[in-house]
Structure formats: C-alpha cells, structure tokens
Structure 1
Amino acid sequence: MNTLLDEYYRYDLHNAGYIERKVSLDESSVVIVGIAQSGKTSLIKHYLLSQKKSTYLYLDCRDMRINIDELNTTLEPFCRDNKIDILALDNYREGINLFSIEHCILSCEHPIETEFEMLELNLLDFEEFLAFEPKFDSTALNHFFQLGGFPAMHRVASEERTLYLQKILSRSLNDIELSILTQATKMVTQKVSAFNLYERLKSERKISKDKLYLHLQSMLDKRYLYGLEKFNHPSAVQKLYLCDIAIKQALNLQKHFGRVYENLIFLELVKHNIECYYDEGIDFYLPQRRQIMLALPFANEHALFKKVEALEGFIITNRVREVIVITMNTESSLSHPIARINMTPFSMWALGEE
C-alpha cells in the first residue's frame, strides 16, 4: 500500500479549464457532499493546485487497488513521514479511518458523521451555468434547458449527451435506484408517495415495499430526488422533483415542458437555500418572504387573474404580499386588489435572486 500512496503523492494533478464555482475551499477541514459529476473532484484539485505540492496527498478512494485494512495501517504513518499537511480523500469510502491531521478534505455522495464542516455542492444554477457559456445572449436559457446543470455537459458533443448521462447514472446508482429514478422522470412535479412508486415498480420487477422505501430514502438523502412538502401539512404527500432537468430527457422520451420548467424553478430555489412549500393551485409558497411563486412560462393576463382569484383565500389568510409569475419572456406588473402581481422572465429572476 505504501507503493500506491507514493504513486499518488508523486502525481502531478491536472485541472485544465477549471471555472470558478460559487463555493470554494479554505483551510478548514471539510466534507464535500454532492451527486456524481457535480464538480467535487475539480473543486478539490483547484484548491490543492494552489498549495505547495509536497504538502498534500490526493487519493481517489475508488481506486480498485486500495485495500481498506492495509490503508488504515499505512496512511497515517505515510503522511507523518512525508510531512503532509493536507489529506484529500476523494470519493471517500466508509471504513477508511480518519486521524488527526492539519487539514482534511473528504468528498462523497451522501452526508457522513464527522466533526468536519459539511459543504453541499449542487449542480450548476443558472448564474454559474452562464460562466460556462462562450457568450451570454438570448440562446443561453435555451442551452440551459438542453444541457441542465452538470458541469461536464459543455464538453460533451450534443449527440453523445444522452448516453453520457445514462452512463454516469448507471455507474453511480444501483439497479433499484436507477429504476426509481426512471419512474420519477415520468412523475416529476406530481404528488408522489413511496407507495405510488412501489405500485409502479412492482409490475416491472420483484421488489418488496421495505426495499423500495430504503432505496427511495437513499435517493433523497443523496439528493438525486427532492420531495417538496405541502404548507402546514408535513404528513401530506410530497411533490417530486429531479436533481437536474437533463435527467428527464436522458431516461424518458415523454415531453412535458411545463413540468420541466417548474422543476427548473424549484432547483433555483433549492440552490439559493430559499424555504418553500406547495399548496393546492400554488407551485411554490415562500413563507419567510410572504410570496407565492407560479411557474407559467407562457402566461397571459386574463388566465393569470382567474388563477389569482382562485387563490384569494390562501392569499388573505397568509397575508401574501406578492405573487411572482416566472415566465419565459414576459415582464409586467399587474394591479390586483389583494396582492401585487409581477410577471418576471426566468433569466431575470434567476440572476436577481440573493
């Protein structure tokens, strides 16, 4: 094992074409949590390349040559003997012992119990996505719909993107998790219970309820899937969202622009850490801001007024100050007796969020 560690220690790391993300590493020990291909490795290498080479050891724990028992006996003395201050364990595997070192960086797909700070690395939001675009013009939003938030998608030829995502998901998820994700692409933005998923999956494969529930929770913990609670009804069935809109078209031939659009808005709220819920007729309710948010890409004023009238009871009861309608291109402010209504294009809204 010392031979393998020495091999990694002598490696010259490469991270060509790195584009800054909204998160960065400092001298604090940290666990970076994010799904496959969210940019964890690039973030680690970007930081390490700013340090003196002799002071750090980068180790990819997916390496099949690693024997955990042997690693646990050799890693600490190797770091001590080589005066290594920074240990980076990329794709950390449970069972690898941690020890006292000046600076430790771990990455994995799901949270682990540790005293280190946890850094959640989401896929690209719209603002980060623009940094990957050669120029910002009217085509940028269309590209965002096509590519989604995986950073590497800009480097993949258009005809290979679907197979690329399929390969990444097949490698990162087990067979049951991939089946759950595939079913989720057919039910995105809908109210979906674990039992609903079980009923659908049992016709395709032999699976118990307990196993389905266990794997579904794993998908939620790793944030391949999200569940959105109903406002003031935590036990109600949750709405289901994907971690990235590109996954829907990679695993499902069905087209439904309205659902994809709503999913995209939800992800922007998640990435900006904005508390939100759904309610009947309401895509997103933001209680701290007393705002209702509607995903209506091609809204017109007449239909919008009728929709707001149907929400009058909720608006009055919860003292909603503003109804924000996220559109594709329309920008307008409407006068309504019970709430302020603003129609805002997605690109303007996404770039304006704090």
Structure 2
Amino acid sequence: MKTLEACYEINFSKINFIERKIRVTHPKTVVKGASKVGKSFLIYDYLSNFKTNEYIYIDLTDPRNDIEEVKLHLDDFLREKKIKVLVIESFDFSFEIPYCESIIISSNIDKKLKGFRDITVLPLDFEEYLLHDKRYQNTTQSFNNFLKYGNLPEVLNFEEHRKIQRLQEVIKLQAKDNTHFEILNILFENVDEKKSLYQLFNTLKTKIKISKDKFYNTCKNLEHENTIYFLPKFNQEKATKKIYSYNHSFLNIISHNKKFKNEFANMIFLELIHKNKEIYYLDYIDFYIKDTSQAIVAIPFFNTFLMNSTLKKIYKNMSEHNIEELFIITISNTEIIKHKKYKINVLPFYEWALS
C-alpha cells in the first residue's frame, strides 16, 4: 500500500499559514472554489490542530497516487492506523467515502453530502491581500500590485518578473484541453461587458471547432466553480448579463488590448461579492446592492466637471429605484459632492475596500 503509506507520512506542521476571513471549522466539510484561491491552505490550517499520525492527506491529482489502491484499501488503512482526519483533495465522488471521525474534501462537483458543511473559498479581498503582502508597507504600492497582478495568494510570493508568467500558467493548468482554454480566454477577454453566451459562442466558433452544447455546459461549470460570474440586470431576467472573472488581472495577462476600466470594475465586483449575496447592475450603474440601497460605479479617473452629464443619468436611475447612496470608486481621487437628495461618496478603491 505504497500510496496510502506515502500519503500518511505527509506532514503539514511546518506550513506557514496566514489568516483568512474563512476557515474550516466543521469536522465534515466540502471545500469549493476556483483554481489557486487557497483551498488547500485552509485544509492545511485545519490539519495543524492534529498530530501528524492522526490524519491522512490524499491528493487525487498527484500522479504518484494509485487511485485504485485508495479505493480498495482506504477503509482498512483508516481503521488500522486509528486515523481521526481523512482529507481527499480534488475528489470526484467515484467511490464511497469510508467512515472517519472528520472528513475534509475539496471538490468542484455539485454534490450535496448529508452531514457535511459546504464552504466556498474566494480569492483574497484587498484587506486580506495587505495581510499577505509582506514586501510593501505602503498601501498605495500594495494597491498598485493588487491591481496589476490580482488576488491569488501564491502569486504574491513570486518575483516581479515571474508574476505574469505564473498567472498565465494558472489559466493553462485549469484548462482541461485546448477547447476549455479558448473558452476561458474569451470569457476573461470580455469581463465587465454585456455579452450573451450566444454572442460569445458565435465569436469563438469562427476561431475553433466547438459545439453549442460543449460551450454552454463549460460556461455553466465555470460559473458553478466560481471561476466566472454572470451578473444579472435588476428586475430584468431576460436582459444580457455582465461577465466577471474571479481574478481581475487575467484580462491584462491574456491580451495586450488595454481595457483598464473593465479590469478596475472587475476588481470592485470581487470586493463586493465578499460582503453581498445579491448584486445587480443597472443602466449607468455598475453595481446595485438592493439590501443597502447603494449604487457603485467604477470611474478610475473621476472629474466632476467632465462627468457631469454621466452623473445626471446616474441620478435619474437612482431616483427610479429609490437608491439613497452612491459610491464613485476611483484610483486615487477623493471629492465631496453635495446633493440635496443623495449621499455621494467619491473614494479611492483602497479607502473604500478597507472602510
């Protein structure tokens, strides 16, 4: 039983874990989330509460591991070693899970297990990013790196000249084949755009051979995995949805076409999903939070005089939806706008994200 013996010898006691806002606390947990958001490190953190002989860690994507051996002998091995915690990474539910006091699974397959708690790991929000970013003590410098290289924990530890290459590798690693890779690319290229899947499919099929079913099913799976988000328009179910990626920097690293506003809006969206379950968009309003009656617009380089006509359109839509407060998120601008009806906040991203 070479595989099980090798997995049993893995020791996570020396892992340097940095706090996240989410943790594995339930003894029976399924951990979900997009690629490289830190799912495994949450599991390592949980295992640090146990002695090394009390757990076994099995990664089913490790090519050294014999899956058939795991299926046949895992139950006996758990009882023989009196193991308290069983961890199975990238589980595909292709075999029955044996009994164990605590079972932690990572999987992106949509399957509910009785007695298990599901947690979804998101990429770093800006506050978490600052805790992880040991190189920079200056918030502005950290923000510049966050904007440029994104929110994946591991990328922080790469040298500057390797960060873009690593992000490109992350996309390739999660692509199951070339078709999957092209679907990821076209979705990342269209973040913060109102594009229907039918439009994207028609564009993609001029480039590669692909069936409509394959495209639609892949997009559905990517949405389930929290790799891609489709943002609906408020009270208009049939309206075209806006597309967002789980890492705003992917747009910049797959194309030389600069879409700075799109990237910036994607970054704001990701900050919002950490705190809000229901987010929508409206005409002239990037994000509408109905629960708090707030509108958020991304205007990287805001100027009251130049944006006056746009503001009038925003105010009109706020009036129609009884929205009380507007946040204008910028790169570095702070302004005070007085309005007799609305509370207007003009803030740099890093101030808004940390407030």
Q: Deviations over 1:133-187 (max 9, x none)?
A: 2243121110111221111112212222222222222122122221112112322
User: Is 1:163 the equivalent of 2:165?
Assistant: yes
User: Is 1:318 the equivalent of 2:317?
Assistant: no
Q: 2:175 aligns with which of 153, 173, 181?
A: 173
Q: Secondary structure at the match of 1:302?
A: coil
Which residue does 1:271 correspond to in 2? Answer: 274
Q: Which amino acid is 1:63 matched to?
A: D
Give how far 1:113 is off: 2.5
Conserved 8 A contact 1:193-1:237:
yes
Q: Deviations over 1:283-310 (max 9, x none)?
A: 0111111111111121112244432321
Conserved 8 A contact 2:26-2:117:
no
Give how far 1:65 is off: 4.2
Distance in 2 between the 1:266 and 1:202 partners? 29
Which residue does 1:236 correspond to in 2? Answer: 239
Q: Deviations over 1:250-284 (max 9, x none)?
A: 21111121111101000101122342111111101
User: Is 1:153 the equivalent of 2:155?
Assistant: yes
Larger deviation, residues 146-155 vs 17-26: 17-26
Conserved 8 A contact 2:10-2:56:
no
Larger deviation, residues 135-144 vs 65-74: 65-74
Paired-residue identity, %: 28
Distance in 1 between the 2:3 and 2:66 partners? 10
Conserved 8 A contact 2:230-2:241:
yes
Q: Deviations over 1:12-52 (max 9, x none)?
A: 23654321111112243101101221111122112212211
Which 4+ residue blocks in structure 1 deviate beyond 3 angstroms? 14-17, 65-70
User: Is 1:55 the equivalent of 2:54?
Assistant: yes
Which residue does 1:28 correspond to in 2? Answer: 27
Distance 1:214 1:274, change over 3 A: closer
Q: 2:142 aligns with which of 140, 143, 149?
A: 140
Conserved 8 A contact 2:232-2:240:
yes
Distance in 1 between the 2:26 and 2:266 partners? 35
Gaps of 5+ in 2: none
Distance 1:337 1:27, change over 3 A: closer
Q: TM-score, normalised by structure 2?
A: 0.93
Q: Secondary structure at the match of 1:333?
A: strand
Gaps of 5+ in 1: none
Give how far 1:317 is off: 2.6
Map 1:104-253; keep pairs closer than 5 Å.
104-115=103-114, 116-134=116-134, 135-137=136-138, 138-174=140-176, 175-253=178-256
Q: Which amino acid is 1:286 matched to?
A: I
Give how far 1:106 is off: 0.5
Distance in 1 between the 2:108 and 2:96 partners? 18
Which residue does 2:78 correspond to in 1? Answer: 79
Conserved 8 A contact 2:283-2:317:
no
Q: TM-score, normalised by structure 1?
A: 0.94
Distance in 2 between the 1:29 and 1:169 partners? 30
Conserved 8 A contact 1:71-1:96:
no
Distance in 1 between the 2:279 and 2:64 partners? 45
Q: Secondary structure at the match of 2:237?
A: coil
Give how far 1:330 is off: 2.1
User: Is 1:340 the equivalent of 2:343?
Assistant: yes
Which residue does 2:284 correspond to in 1? Answer: 281
Give how far 1:131 is off: 1.0
Larger deviation, residues 330-339 vs 181-190: 330-339
Q: Which amino acid is 1:94 matched to?
A: F
Larger deviation, residues 280-289 vs 170-179: 170-179
Conserved 8 A contact 1:33-1:111:
no
